[in-house]
Amino acid sequence: MTIKIGISACVLGEPVRFDGGHKASGFCLQQLKPLVQYIAVCPEQAIGLGVPRPAIRLQRDSAMQIRLVQSRDPAIDHTAKMLSYTEKLLPELAVLSGYVVCAKSPSCGMERVRLYDDAGQQLGKIGVGIYTRQLMQHYPWLPVEEDGRLLDPTIKENFITRIFACHDYQQQMQGGFTVAKLVQFHSRYKFLVMAHSPVAYRELGRLVASAKLFTPADLSERYLTDLMHALKNIASRQQHANVLQHLQGFLKKSLNRAEKLELTDLIHRYRQGFLPLMAPLTLLNHHLRQFPNQYVAAQRYLNPYPEQLGLRA
């Protein structure tokens, strides 16, 4: 099944911004596009705002409510239309495994959007686009990222990891959620979660163990939400090294002393910052091909997304 990703239309290069321009993302258009199906949305255009159009902004009124208004004439208020449009669209977005939004946009920005008071004074970059705020509240498990932040290699790798994990979970639960499916999925993701959050690794394990305490619907959404929140943490070198040592333990009866020392040394040098992650991973995978282990081979930590994206390199 194709991975479906929501995306701001301007990030796909469509000239739908207020000034008739776009914010095409090279990564989204070149590297990611062959692997996913995009669902492009421009909420401003969808509620009838033309191209080009007067600029709009987020404004906090005297009742502390956030409004979407025209910058030059705040009396022109688009809030109700935007909320109504978003409410109608949200059920259609349940099929998504991720979403790329346009940074700084008063409709689509994920964070640090300029917010003004009703006197026109800037309160700071503390707002969230109205459309994206509703999206994230409705789907707290959905990986959401801004186009600009994807220029950071670490953030990009983290976002893609979450997209493919989310899609894998959705695929696993096709045909209906069962505890058996959850246990199977969790078994494959243990080490990936450990790399991103040792605390969440333990908490998710306890959640799966207490599955009978929840309804299937509640357990399914809670697990996915907690998983996505865990994976949102950036994995540190220390945490990666810890996982690599755990995986090395599965080879302790297969490797000779020299091979063990070589792999241990690579992991240690990676932990210290002298080597990239691919160095110990490549050697570990080499040994796993020589001495196959079905449980380890199934671990998504080893291949969290398609190799062709080259993100770990």
| pLDDT one-digit tens code per residue, 232-260 | 999 999 999 999 999 999 999 999 999 99
Is beta strand 122-127 parallel, antiparallel or unpaired with respect to 113-117? antiparallel
Average pLDDT, integer, range 55-60: 97
Q: Is 74 left (phi over 0), alpha (psi -120 to 50) or beta?
A: alpha
Percent of the chain scoring above 70 in pLDDT: 99
Cα dist. 240→31, 150, 251 in Å?
A: 25, 22, 17
Per-residue confidence at 62, pLDDT binned at 50, 70, 90? confident
What single DSSP character describes residue 214?
S
Per-residue confidence at 312, pLDDT binned at 50, 70, 90? confident
Residue 279: the pLDDT is 97
Q: Please say if the pLDDT value at position 313 is more than 80.
A: no
Q: How far apart are CA 218 and CA 212, in angstroms?
A: 11
Residue located via tokens 């007067």: 54
Helix (H) or strand (E) holding 32: none
Average pLDDT, integer, range 211-217: 95
Per-residue confidence at 78, pLDDT binned at 50, 70, 90? very high
State the alpha helices, DSSP H only, in the chain: 26, 43-46, 79-89, 130-138, 153-172, 179-196, 198-209, 216-231, 237-249, 257-272, 278-290, 294-297
Cα dist. 162→12, 145, 232 in Å?
A: 21, 11, 7
Residue 145: the pLDDT is 98
Q: Please say if the pLDDT value at position 1 is more than 80.
A: no
| Domain boundaries defined on the chain | 3-151, 154-313
- The two structure tokens encoding residue 73: 């004439």
pTM of the model: 0.95
Residue 63: the pLDDT is 87
Beta bridge mates, 113: 127
